Chain A
Amino acid sequence: MIEFTLNGKTVSTNDSPDTPLLWVVRDTFKLKGSKFGCGAGLCGACTMHVDGAATKTCVLPVGAVAGKAVLTIEGLGTPDNLHPLQAAWHELSVPQCGYCQSGQIMAAAALLATNPHPDAQAVEAAMAGNICRCGCYTRIKRAILEVAGSNLAYDATRTQPATEASA
C-alpha cells in the first residue's frame, strides 16, 4: 500500500508500485484532467506537481511519491475558482484542442511559484518540456507573462490545492 497526498487529501493505493503516477491518478482516483501523450516523459501532457515541482508523471512510478504531496490540475483551480493562470488561459483564448493544457498550466504554475516574475527567456526554458501540437505557444507565453507582470503574480504562486486555499 502506497500513501501520499493528492490535492490535499491523504490517499492510498494498492496499485503495483511501478505503475506510473499518471495512471494511478486517472484510473484509480478517477481524476482525468492530467493527460497521456507519449508515455516517455517527452511531451508534458501528464505534468503534475510533486512536492511543488513540475513532474512528468507518465514515467514516475507511484512508489516514488509515497509520503509526498501531489497536485493536479483539479487541485490547482476549478471552473468556479480559477487559478490566475487558468483565468488568463480563458481570457486570452489560449487553448485550441485543449488536450495538453493541463500539463502546460501545471508547468507554468510551478515556474511562477519559484519565479513570480520570469522574463520571456525564463518562460521558454521552463516550458520547453511541454508540447502543444495545435501551436498555442505565443498565447501560452503571453498568458504567463501577463499573470507574472500583473498584481495576480503573488496569487499565482499559490500551488496549494484550491479547496484548501479558499477554505
Chain B
Amino acid sequence: MNASNLSRRRFLRNSGIVGGGLVIGLNLTGCSRAPLPVPPLADGLTPNAFLQITADNRFIFYCPRDEMGQGVTTGLATLIGEELDVHPADFEVRFGGVHPDYANPDFRMQMTGGSTSVKAHFLPLRQAGADTRALLLAAAAADLGVPVASLRTEAGHVLNGDDRHPYGRFVGTAASLDMPADTPLKSRDAFRYIGHNFPRVDGVLKATGTAQFGIDVDLPDMLHAVVRRSPVPGARLRSVDQAPALAMPGVTHVLAISTGVAVVAGSHWQAKQAAGKLAPVWEDVPLAGIDSATIQEDYARAMEGTDGVVALDEGDVELGFAAADKVVDARYWTPYLAHAPMEPMNAVIRIADGRAELWSGTQSVQAAQGLVARTADIDPALVTVHNTYLGGGFGRRGTLSHVTEVTEIALAVNKPVHLLWSREDDLRNGVYRPASLMHLRAGVDAGGNLVAWDAHRVGSNIGPDSLRAVAPGVLPGVGERFIHGMADLSDRITSDWFADPTSTEGLADDYDAAHRRVTQTTVNHGIPVTFWRSVGHSHTAFAKESMMDELALAAGQDPVAFRLKHTRTNKRLHNVIRIASEKLREMQPESGRFLGFAAHHAFDTDVAEIAEVSVTGNRIRVHKVTCVVDCGLAINPDVVRAQMEGGIVFGLTAALHGNLEIEGGAIRESNFHDYPLLRMDEAPDIEVIIVDSGEAPTGVGEPGVPPIAPAVANAVFRATGQRLRSLPLRLSA
C-alpha cells in the first residue's frame, strides 16, 4: 500500500463515510444555548437539562435516552440519583425532547443504541447529580446559617444534626447561586444505589397498562391512516384505483405518498378495511427478479472471487497455514432477519400554524425531528418531538420512514393523524439484519496452537443503508441529493476499499493467533438492512464459535480448554471463560441432555454461555442456559440479568426459528405463524453470573445475544454428531 492510499484511508475513516455512523455526528457538539425543552418550573429548581426539583420535593428526571425495555430509565436514574442522593424510584421519569444536552456522548447526537447508554452517561450524569447536590448543600448552608461541612444528605433530604429538611425547602436559594462544577464523585464503597438491586422504575406503569407507547397517543379530531406499500422494497406506485377504498365507511382520504398509498379514515379499523380493497400497481424494479436461492448462489460465487476488501491482516496467514498440522475449512450461513418488536411502527402528528408536534417511540428523537422538518419544509426548531416508551426497539426504531409517512399524510389532510403499521407491514416493509455467508479456515500446529485464522464474509453492509435512513433526519439542512451521493459513495467505499466495520466485527478478534486475516466481499441485492440487536456479532459469533469447537475437536482438545489457551492476551474474556468452565465442570446433565459452549466479546463486554440441549427426532430443545458476563460495574445487577435473559431468548429465536425468505424480491413471511418467535414453552431456564468488577460499565443490551446460537449448535453436535452450519438450526432426518 502506498502513502496516498494510507492518507486516503485515514481521511475516509475519520470522515466516517466508511461505517456510515460518524459522519452524522458533525452537527451536535458541546453545550448549546438553545432553551431547554422542559416546562418551566416557577417554584423550583432546574439546574440542568436532566433535573427539576420542586418546592414540594418532587424530583423529575428527564431521561436523555430512549426506554425500549433495556432498563435505561432505571440505569440512568440510578447514576444521577446516586450522586444527588435521591432513590432512583423516587424520580418522576420523563423523556427529554430534542436538545444538544441530551446527545449521546458516544455519538454526539441523540441516538439510543449500540449498548452505549450507561457506559456513555456513567460520568456525565453522575457529575450532573453531584454538582446539583453540592448546589443544594450550599443553599441549605446559607438558609440554615451553618457551614456546609456540618450537613449531610440522604434520600432527597439535607440532614443537619437530627433535623431532616427536604431538598425542596432550599430550591429558591439554590436557584440564585452559581452552579458548582467538577464536584468530586463518590467512591464505589459509598454507593447506595449503584450496584444494588431494586425493582425497575417503570415496572408499575408497565404492569398496569398505564405506560404510554406511541400507539396509545390519541388527539382530539385525529384521523387514522394505514399505508399500502410495495411488497418489493424500493418499487414506487405506478397507479391505483382509489374508488373501492373511498366507498368504504369512514374513509376521508386516499392519497399517494412517497412509499405507497395512504388510506385515511375516522378509525384505524375503517382505514385498514378500506386499504384492503385497493389493488395498487407497482413499478418494476430489478430486485423483483431475486429469490433466496439467487442470493445464496450469488454469495457462493462471490466467495470464490478475489475482489473482497481486507478488514484485518496480521502476520502472514499463508505462512501460518504452512505451519499447521490440522486445518479446518467450513462455511456458515445466517439469513435475513426482522426485528419484529411487539409494537408495530407508528407515529402521531399534528401540524398547524407552521409548527409540528410529533409523538412516537423512537431510538432518535433528533432524527424524527429532522425528518418532519424536511418533509414539511419547516425549521427543525418548530418541530416538537414527544418520545414515548418504545414497545421494543432492537435497532428497528432508528429507521423512521413511518415518521416521514405520517408527515406527508398530515400535510395533505390538515388534521392530526395517527399512522399504524400492521404486523404484515412490519415484516414485509421493514429493514433487516443482513444475510451472511462466512467462510472460515483455521489451522492448529502439532502443539495444539492456533496458528492461522482466515475468515471471509459475503453480504451487504449496514453502514451505507443506515446513512440513507438516518442522515436525512439528523442533517435536516443538507440536500437529499447530497445525502444520496454520500450514501452511494459509502456503498462504493465499503464495497471496493474498506470493510464496513459492522460486516465483519467479531469474526477474528477474540482469540490469539499469530496470523489472521479477515476479508469482506460485498454483494448487495437491494434488501434494505440495518442494525439488529448485536449487529455484526449476531452472525460472526455463530461462525467463529462454531469453528472454535470444530478446530478443538479436530486437534483432539477440549473446546473450552482450547479457548482458555487462546485468550492469554485477552484477560477479561479469559476470566469469563474460566468461570464458565468451572460451572461446566460441576454440571451433570441428565441422560439425553448435552452441553454446548460459546463465548464472545462485543460492545466492550465479555459473555460466555453454556446451553443444555436435548434432541428428540428433529426437534432441538434448549432446557437451560448458564451465562457468565463481565460488563464492568453492574449499575443494577438485576437489570443486567434481565438483559442477558432477554438477549439469550432473542438469540434463541434466531437460532431455532428466525428466517426470512425472499421471493420475487419480496419478503415471504407475514406474521407470527410463519415468522415464529420463541414462546414460554420453548424458553429455557437461565442462570446469570455477573463478574464482580469495579471497572467502568460496558454494554449489556446486546452482548447476551451472540454466544447462544453457537452454544446450541455445539451442543447439537455433541447430541447428534451433526455439525449444523446454517441458521436457523435444522436437523436432517
Chain A residues with CB under 8 Å of chain B are 15-16, 19-20, 23, 26-28, 30-40, 42-43, 45, 72-74, 77-79, 82, 85-87, 89-102, 105, 123-125, 127-128, 130-141
A123 to B679: give the CA distance in the assembly, Å: 12
The answer, yes or no, to whether B646 is at the interface (CB within 8 Å) is yes
Chain B residues with CB under 8 Å of chain A are 67-71, 199-200, 202-213, 215-216, 218, 224, 249, 267-269, 340-344, 389-394, 420, 422-423, 638-639, 642, 645-650, 671-673, 677-681, 683, 685-686
A86 to B646: give the CA distance in the assembly, Å: 20
Closest to A88 in B: B207
**A98→B269 contact, CB < 8 A:** no
Closest to B647 in A: A135
A107 to B405: give the CA distance in the assembly, Å: 35
**B343→A99 contact, CB < 8 A:** yes
**B210→A131 contact, CB < 8 A:** no
Main secondary structure of the interface of A (DSSP, over half): loop
A31 to B68: give the CA distance in the assembly, Å: 22
CB of A33, distance to nearest CB on chain B (Å): 2
Known: A90-B199, A98-B206. A133 touches B392 (CB 8 A): yes
Residues of the B chain whose Cβ atoms lie less than 8 Å from the Cβ of A85: 207
Closest to B650 in A: A135
A124 to B679: give the CA distance in the assembly, Å: 9
CB of B217, distance to nearest CB on chain A (Å): 9
- Select one of B208, B211, B420, B642 contacting A93, CB under 8 A: B642
- Select one of A98, A105, A125 contacting B391, CB under 8 A: A98
Residues of the A chain whose Cβ atoms lie less than 8 Å from the Cβ of B647: 135
- Select one of A33, A39, A43, A89 contacting B342, CB under 8 A: A43
**B671→A33 contact, CB < 8 A:** no
A135 to B671: give the CA distance in the assembly, Å: 18
CB of A163, distance to nearest CB on chain B (Å): 13
Max chain A Cβ within 10 angstroms of own Cβ: one of B200, B207, B268: B207
Known: A20-B269, A23-B268, A40-B672. A96 touches B70 (CB 8 A): yes
Known: A30-B218, A135-B645. A78 touches B672 (CB 8 A): no
**B649→A95 contact, CB < 8 A:** no
Residues of the A chain whose Cβ atoms lie less than 8 Å from the Cβ of B211: 98
Residues of the B chain whose Cβ atoms lie less than 8 Å from the Cβ of A77: 208
**A97→B208 contact, CB < 8 A:** no
**B677→A133 contact, CB < 8 A:** yes
Closest to B211 in A: A98
Residues of the A chain whose Cβ atoms lie less than 8 Å from the Cβ of B646: 96, 134-136
Residues of the A chain whose Cβ atoms lie less than 8 Å from the Cβ of B212: 32
**B680→A42 contact, CB < 8 A:** no
A42 to B677: give the CA distance in the assembly, Å: 10
A108 to B211: give the CA distance in the assembly, Å: 20
- Select one of A23, A135, A139 contacting B269, CB under 8 A: A23
Residues of the B chain whose Cβ atoms lie less than 8 Å from the Cβ of A27: 218, 224, 267-269
CB of A22, distance to nearest CB on chain B (Å): 9
Residues of the A chain whose Cβ atoms lie less than 8 Å from the Cβ of B70: 96
**B206→A101 contact, CB < 8 A:** yes
- Select one of B71, B209, B340, B344 contacting A74, CB under 8 A: B209
**A23→B680 contact, CB < 8 A:** no
Q: List 15 A-B contacts (CB under 8 A).
A: A16-B249, A23-B268, A26-B216, A27-B267, A35-B215, A38-B671, A43-B423, A93-B642, A97-B391, A98-B206, A98-B389, A99-B342, A101-B209, A123-B680, A137-B680
A74 to B647: give the CA distance in the assembly, Å: 30
Residues of the B chain whose Cβ atoms lie less than 8 Å from the Cβ of A136: 642, 645-646
CB of B332, distance to nearest CB on chain A (Å): 24
Residues of the A chain whose Cβ atoms lie less than 8 Å from the Cβ of B685: 138
Closest to B343 in A: A99
- Select one of A26, A38, A91 contacting B423, CB under 8 A: A38
Residues of the A chain whose Cβ atoms lie less than 8 Å from the Cβ of B216: 26, 32
A95 to B205: give the CA distance in the assembly, Å: 10
**B645→A90 contact, CB < 8 A:** no
- Select one of B203, B391, B671, B681 contacting A94, CB under 8 A: B203
- In addition to A93-B199, A93-B203, 16 A-B residue pairs with Cβ atoms within 8 Å of each other are A15-B267, A19-B269, A32-B218, A34-B209, A36-B420, A37-B423, A42-B672, A93-B638, A95-B69, A96-B70, A134-B342, A135-B649, A136-B642, A137-B649, A137-B680, A141-B680
Residues of the A chain whose Cβ atoms lie less than 8 Å from the Cβ of B649: 132, 134-135, 137
